[in-house]
């Protein structure tokens, strides 16, 4: 798979996802995809598995009022890495976040995304917005709570 077609494929699938048609983007995720959430974004932590990633995204969207708005600004790629530059806007309980973000997507040779990571232009503002959001289902604990719950942390 060449670089440009992979970036185009992700852009097309992501834009369909944002229009309410998630099938193509969901199909691009490997079953064991890992999503590292920076700071408190979407509750923070490291999510493992397609189901956990999708459940967290859905829970975060339901928590916001109205659902977050994402605009894909640009998609670039090099080899197995694709970077989507996005504008992320969300509101909840009178708080608002409006940030540019870069999402790095790493793809396996079969064309499925195996790893994602997000970086925001002002992480502190993002952290303040998401601070009240505390998901804790299916092992998708925020990092600090996951560390406190681990057997090593209790020793």
For residue 16 the two structure tokens come to 């369909």
Q: Can you give the residue range of the structural domain that contains 8? A: 3-132
Would residue 147 count as lying in a domain?
no
Task: Answer yes or no: is 37 within a domain.
Answer: yes
Q: Name the pTM for this structure.
A: 0.82
Domain count, the chain: 1
**Residue 45 domain-assigned (yes or no):** yes
Token pair for residue 105?
């997507």
* Beta carbons of 108 and 30 less than 8 angstroms apart: yes
**CATH number, position 29:** 3.10.450.50
Q: Beginning with the edge strand found earlier in the chain, give each strand of the sheet holding 113-120 in spatial order.
A: 45-48, 29-37, 113-120, 95-107, 81-92, 69-78
- For residue range 41-100, what is the model confidence (pLDDT) as tens digits? 888 889 999 999 999 999 999 999 998 999 999 999 999 999 999 999 999 989 999 999
Q: How far is CA 22 from the centre of its chain?
A: 14
Q: Is residue 138 part of a domain?
A: no
Could you tell me if residue 137 is inside a domain?
no
Instruction: Classify residue 145: in a domain, yes or no.
Output: no
The reply to whether 101 falls in a domain is: yes
Any domain includes 150: no
Confidence band, pLDDT 50/70/90 cuts, at residue 140: very low
């Amino acid at each position: 798979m060449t670089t440009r077609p992979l970036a185009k494929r992700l852009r097309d699938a992501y834009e369909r996802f944002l229009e309410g048609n998630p099938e193509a983007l969901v199909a691009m995720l490997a079953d064991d995809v890992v999503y590292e959430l920076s700071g408190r974004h979407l509750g923070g932590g490291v999510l493992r598995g397609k189901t956990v990633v999708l459940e967290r995204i859905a829970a975060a969207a339901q928590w916001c009022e109205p659902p977050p708005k994402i605009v894909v600004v640009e998609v670039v790629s090099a080899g197995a890495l694709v970077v989507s530059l996005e504008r992320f806007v969300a509101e909840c309980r009178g708080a608002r976040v409006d940030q540019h973000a870069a999402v790095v997507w790493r793809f396996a040779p079969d064309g499925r995304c195996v790893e994602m990571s997000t970086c925001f232009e002002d992480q502190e503002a993002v952290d303040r917005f998401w601070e009240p959001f505390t998901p804790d289902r299916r092992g998708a604990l925020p990092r600090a709570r996951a560390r406190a719950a681990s057997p090593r942390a209790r020793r």
